[in-house]
Amino acid sequence: MKEIVKITIGLTLTCLIAAGIMGGVFIITAKAKKHNEYLNFKENMLALLGYNQTNPAPDSLQLCTVYRYLIYQGDKTSLGYMLPVKSKDAKDIRYQFIRVDLQGQFVDKFDLEIETAQTTDLKDREKALAAVLPKDVNQMIFADRFIVASNKDKRLAYLLPGKSPGFKTNINFMLALNSKYSIVGLQILEHQEDPGLGDEIEREYFKNQFTGKDSERVKTLKVIKEPLPDEQLKYLEKSKWAKDAYSEKDIKALQKKYQDKDICAITGATISSVAVVNGVKNVVTKFVYRVKILENIISKQKITVAF
User: Is 5 one of the binding residues for another protein (CB under 8 A)?
Assistant: no
C-beta of 23 vs 229, nearer to another protein = 23
| 183-212 exposure pattern, b = at least 16 Cβ within 10 A, e = fewer | bbbbbbeebebeeebbbbbeeebbbbbbbb
User: Is 259 one of the binding residues for another protein (CB under 8 A)?
Assistant: no
Taking the C-alpha atoms of residue 230 and residue 245, their distance in angstroms, rounded to an integer, is: 15
Mask for 32-71, x = binds another protein (CB under 8 A) = xx--x--xx-----------------------------x-
User: Is 15 one of the binding residues for another protein (CB under 8 A)?
Assistant: yes
Residues in the chain: 307
Please, are residues 132 and 140 in contact by the beta-carbon 8 Å criterion? no
User: Is 107 one of the binding residues for another protein (CB under 8 A)?
Assistant: no
Mask for 224-253, x = binds another protein (CB under 8 A) = ------------------------------
State the DSSP code for 161: E
Mask for 142-181, x = binds another protein (CB under 8 A) = -x---------------------x-x-x------------
Which secondary structure element, helix H or strand E, spans residue 148, and what is its range? strand 137-151
C-beta of 229 vs 268, nearer to another protein = 268
- How many CB atoms neighbour CB 56 within 10 A? 10
Q: What is the DSSP string of 177-188?
A: E-TTS-EEEEEE
Taking the C-alpha atoms of residue 230 and residue 236, their distance in angstroms, rounded to an integer, is: 10
Q: How far is the CB of 7 from another protein (least distance, A)?
A: 5
Q: How far is the CB of 1 from another protein (least distance, A)?
A: 10
Which secondary structure element, helix H or strand E, spans residue 98, and what is its range? strand 93-101
Q: Distance between the two ends of the chain, CA-based, in angstroms?
A: 70
Among 195, 230, 247, 249, binds another protein (CB under 8 A): 195
Type of residue found at 215: S
Among 14, 52, 139, 259, binds another protein (CB under 8 A): 14
Residues within the interface to another protein (CB under 8 A): 3-4, 6-8, 10-12, 14-15, 18-19, 21-23, 25-26, 28-30, 32-33, 36, 39-40, 70, 77, 79, 100, 102, 104, 143, 165, 167, 169, 192, 194-197, 219, 268, 271, 278, 282, 286, 289-290
